[in-house]
Amino acid sequence: MKARKTLCIISVILCLCIALSACGTPAKPAGGNDAPKAEGPLDLNSLTLEQIIEGAKKEGKLETVGMPGSWANWQGIFDGIKAEYGIECNDTDMSSAEELNMFETEKNSPTKDLGDVGHAFGPKAVQMDVVQSYKTSYWDKVPDWAKDPEGRWMMAYTGVISFITNTDLVKNAPKSWADVKAGDYKLTIGDVVTGATGQGVVLATAYAFGGGIDNLDPAFEFWAEMAKAGRIDPGDILLQRIQAGEVQVGVSWSFNVFSYRDQTPNYKFDVCVPTDGAILSGYASVINKYAPHPHAAALAREYIFSDKGQTVLAGAGGIPTRTDFKAPADVQAKTFAPEMYANAVPITDPAAYDAIRETIAQRWQEEIIPLMG
């Protein structure tokens, strides 16, 4: 009896163990959303373009940050990707710093795939370890200063500091900073303390009056004179203000001023690159290290650097970085031909540019704002 009872108890225990084991380790499906995810980001560079396209079509969507449709005509890029590959694109607008912070804070449950950040933020993204590499088919056609050696950021376009003059309000549109100095109208450049565009404008004036990235004094002498004369518009350079006729002469990147011009049919404008002081700086494509749609992100970067993508950016006033690409004649006729920005100073050192922008912000706050009343 005792032996039989013991055997029965052992049998019961074994049955319970088997049942519990079966409940705790269900069979894993071969694929689909319930399949275990690979550790770390996908190695996009190990895939062929055909594999990237196939994967992107399966993902079916792309979530971007800091790429609003009106900026450099990202909408044209998104429309092209949808037409060619059927991929839906959705953007959440934010600053470069906010983009990288989102990549960082969402790393355990990412929602965004691709961002567009200022040149100086490309190296920052690498330092934060929030981006992954993808070298497009056009890698060798992009200059070294416009890309991370490992492909963790790539600049598809730059912009050149440009004037946009409302000729219904200002009869003699300036062609140079010397013309501006001799004028009597107000200048709108936006926020210089926190705005990268305004800081770029100030650096451009340093070159115009004999200085440069190593000597900002000529720029601040000019802006102090403008402030004392009451000629600095304290408001931001925004499309709404331009459409309302609140901006006499504005200064911004070329890919902004053409957008402003084309969206304001109620006024006439003159758009040009100042002949005596302009800089070239751009924005870099960054792919979230843990992008939920990595194939779509890689395909979008591929499209941006393609002839179609570079043409869209050029048509919006951007200056494509691919050395073998030349914008069609009709696009150049509507924007800037290369000779118009041939003398602009390209920003090739993002760390130096980042440092000088901080100096400009501090000096503006200390030296110019008190003079603006």
Q: Beta strand 61-65 with 232-233: parallel, antiparallel or unpaired? A: unpaired
In this prediction, residue 40 carries a pLDDT of: 65
Cα separation of the two ends of the chain: 104
In the chain, the percentage of residues whose pLDDT exceeds 70 is 89
pLDDT at 99 exceeding the cut of 90: yes
pTM for the predicted model, two decimal places: 0.79
Mean pLDDT highest for which of 23-32, 38-47, 266-275?
266-275
In this prediction, residue 39 carries a pLDDT of: 54
pLDDT at 363 exceeding the cut of 50: yes
pLDDT at 33 exceeding the cut of 70: no
| DSSP secondary structure of 131-188 | EE----TTGGGS-GGGB-TTSS-EEEEEEEEEEEEETTT-SS--SSHHHHHH--S-EE
pLDDT at 354 exceeding the cut of 80: yes
Sequence length of the chain is 373
Q: What is the CA radius of gyration of the chain?
A: 27
pLDDT digits (tens, 9 = 90+) for 157-193: 999 999 999 999 999 999 999 999 999 999 999 999 9
Decide: 215 and 206 in contact? Cβ < 8 Å.
Answer: yes
Q: Give the single-character DSSP code of 106.
A: T
CB neighbourhood size of 372 (10 A): 15
Helix (H, G, I), strand (E, B) or coil at 212: strand
Decide: 116 and 285 in contact? Cβ < 8 Å.
Answer: yes
Residue 196 banded pLDDT, cuts 50, 70, 90: confident
CB neighbourhood size of 145 (10 A): 13
Residue 21 banded pLDDT, cuts 50, 70, 90: very low
Nearest to 324 by CA among 81, 139, 159: 139
Least confident of 120-124, 246-250, 289-293, 366-370: 120-124
Domains defined along the chain, listed by start: 47-158+281-338 (3.40.190.10), 159-280+342-372 (3.40.190.10)
Phi, psi of 318 (to 5 degrees): -75, 160
Residue 143 banded pLDDT, cuts 50, 70, 90: very high
Mutual angle of helices 96-105 and 121-128, in 10-degree steps: 10
Q: Give the single-character DSSP code of 215.
A: B
- Average pLDDT score over residue span 50-54: 98
CB neighbourhood size of 180 (10 A): 23
Measured between alpha carbons, how far is 10 from 218 in angstroms, rounded to an integer? Answer: 92
The backbone region for 317, taken as left when phi is positive above 0, alpha when psi lies in -120 to 50, beta otherwise, is left
Phi, psi of 341 (to 5 degrees): -120, 20
Measured between alpha carbons, how far is 130 from 104 in angstroms, rounded to an integer? Answer: 6
pLDDT at 37 exceeding the cut of 60: no
Measured between alpha carbons, how far is 283 from 294 in angstroms, rounded to an integer? Answer: 20
Task: Give the residue ranges of DSSP H helices in 187-293.
Answer: 196-208, 217-228, 239-243, 254-262
Q: Report, in this order, helix, strand and coil percent for the chain, each rounded to 5.
A: 45, 15, 40
